[in-house]
Structure 1
Amino acid sequence: MKNRKSWLLLCFVASLLYVLGSCQKGDLNLGSEVIPDANLSVVMVDTFTVKLSTVAVTDTAITSADSMIYAGRWRDANTGVQEFTAFASPTFPSNTLNTRASSIVLDSTVLILPLSYSYGDSVQTFKLSAHVMTTPLASGTLYYNTNTSARYATQPLAEKSFYPGKGGTPTVRIRKDSLGAILFDRLKTRTIRDDETLQQVLPGLAFKGSSAGNVIVGFGVNTGRSLIRLYFHDNSSTTVTSEKIDIDFSYKHYTRYGFDYKGTPLANLKNRSDAVNSSLTGNVAYITQGGPLRTRVEFPYFDNVLMSRDAILGVNRAELIFDPVRTNFRDNALPPNTLYLYKTNAVNDILTSQPIETITNSLTPVSATYTTESSIYETKDHYTFNVTNYFNQLMSGKTQLAPIILTPGVGAQQYLNFSRTSLGNRNYSSDRVRLVLYYTNRNR
């Protein structure tokens, strides 16, 4: 009977610790009012081994839902080359050119692209080339960022060099006796009379960019923004006045994110099951929000803690802390605003049905917001995940230890985001990952 009462008392204490330990600010003196202090101690451990690896996951960004298209290239020694190519198909413009077909004359053709975004070394000259696509984009198809591509002519239709940092609207003049002349003639004769007949002549344009530096530019493709403008005049008018007709690219568009890891440690990411240990990439692991790179997190020796869990009454608080590795706070690689924790498997799937939960059975993943903290001495930045519930579940045997994947939001991401970050492992010189556990221990 005495043993049964002691067992019930310990169960009550463990339950109390479990509930209160899931709060954001746990009481590290918890339990002393139930069992004398001599029998309990609060332990803080921050020396756990946390293994980080870089993995490549399948698509999450449906870039055909974005209001912008992007072109350019980004290179670095550890993650290789990321290349962005934009594709857009045109929309038929309502017009009455056929009623004046015999008197109107084409003057010039201009490709207008409103520069809405530049990322990277925007003081470098950026060369934009436009290529004619061989087939149009399909209106009912969802185009993703990395697993969809469209064919286009190797020879560019037109090219333009400019400085993205100066903003403005790049305009590219096209020879009037080439594409513009064909479009104008067929609009006059009503051979082009809808989207389908327009795209038989011009399926669309692919936009590629190149620069000596790392530069990505974005152009708006909402109605009336990115377009081909045909300038013409009417010979029958007593006063010659310049007129125009616009063919915009609001029909369908998307941006392809291409990547080449050749010559880098990430070249080993050939299969879904592959993971590159952070020890091979300068003691950092990578996350690219618009691309496939994610960080895999494992606790290889935590089983040793689980073996002694009979002496642990409950986890008061558990924090998983990452300090992004950055050159400075004005560098171009802004970390993602929010990261989430999900369980993963041998092929690095993001198991959205198995999040690291904030509350048991809530299916709400633990998340952390990128945070900066400044003082008169230094500025620190970090992601701090409250994983108290998860480690209480581990200690109680209600869940099994499994690898975790660290990722930006999944499911609802409908646009390209160029945020990226690198996270130091426990051997990195300064910004190291840490698992910090506060738990109440029963003294023997």
Structure 2
Amino acid sequence: MRSKWTEYLEELMSLLDKYDPKRSFKLRHDVRERFLEIKNAMQESYIREMLGNEVDRALKWVKVFNNEVNEAKDELGIRGIMFSKEFKSFIEDPVAHLKKKLFNYTYDLLRRKIDVEEFSRVAKAAITTSLRTNLRTLYQNWVIISLLRNLAEYGIRIVYPEYNYLLLERSGRQKTGSIPPNCIVYIKGYGYLSIFIEAPRPLSWEDTEDLRRVWKLYTALRPDVMVYRGRVLNMLAPERDPPILRPNVIIECKELEDWFIRVRDVRGPFAKPLSAEEWRSRWIRGLWDGLADILGVTREEVGEELKKRALRLHETKVVELYREFYRPDVMYLVSMTKVPRDITRELRHHGIIVLDDVGFNRRNLKRLTEDMLNRLFTTSLSKSKDIEEEVEDILENLLRRLEENGISISKNELLFLMSSYISLKEDSFINFVKKSVKMKYG
């Protein structure tokens, strides 16, 4: 039985053979409209045929996720949530996003540069990879947002970034030479949590010496989420191996039903370092390959590829490797579906707490929320608030009382006014400090 998408393809070819035999794609308006209509129908038909029910599943997940985002903005009191360009495009319209992945292959096919068999092979790989990557990101983001919504029941405020947005992407976040968090939240009665997503990431570099210093960041393992107690504005710790601060919490998210039987090549810690010259050579080689493809020329292969060292591991072993590599105080694995008892037992044996069959029900993450708070904030040290938290409570109380009196100002403005008031009453303030110190120390 012939595929519907190949019927659309034949129609496209006939249209182009008639109006654009040289494949310049400079079509008059009415022909162009017809061309785009058939092309879109062909691409959508191809996506539906290759991915089947996965498309409907993606549409369902995106609908649930977008509802979660809208509710979270209200509950967290934020203006919005910022995603990567790729993921934002996906959740706006999954099918339209997958069509973009077919753009180059479609035109190569219409130019007869590749045949139907090669098109089907490379195009299917492109849309399958894109769909799986974005669904993985979707579930990871859902877990983070749901965790924050659960924490909101205790009373939280996002204190970083300061422009009232939640950042769930890391694009260009390391350009300043540090690795900042995605967000820092203040939890009333507990303290601060700093959340890093898919970190550490590489820093910018200019020469071989720079690259040598940051190489371990290129090869470091990247769990889905790392959480630190307190305000951590930079996780980088060059003197350590791996070169980041030890996290208090790691959260790994799994959206696939069969995730535990899958394998992955882990090159990170086993990759051979490159010099800046080798890096530049590879970059230019890749650029030249792309230009050669466009210009229809070939280039002579020169030199040998450096041997890649990798370790093929089951996903369960990768999760255990995260635990061993970073040694967090506690590690959680959140699985959308049920995890077999023997897998759960193995992970627990390695100190990993498994929450399975979570689905898209954030109440199923209540246990994670409560357990994390208890572990991070119930030690004898953390029971007594540090001075930063005391000041935060004082400022919050003053801001609330000012609002009750019809005065709405920012925290920075309040701090400035407080320092101005102290300057005006300097002698009184010094006497107050003297009395306070005398009462405390005798």
Greater helix content: 2
Q: TM-score, normalised by structure 1?
A: 0.21
Bigger Cα Rg: 1
Report 1 or 2 for greater relative contact order, CA contacts < 8 Å, sequence distance ≥ 6. 1
Which structure dedicates a bigger proportion of its chain to strand?
Answer: 1
TM-score (normalised: structure 2)? 0.21
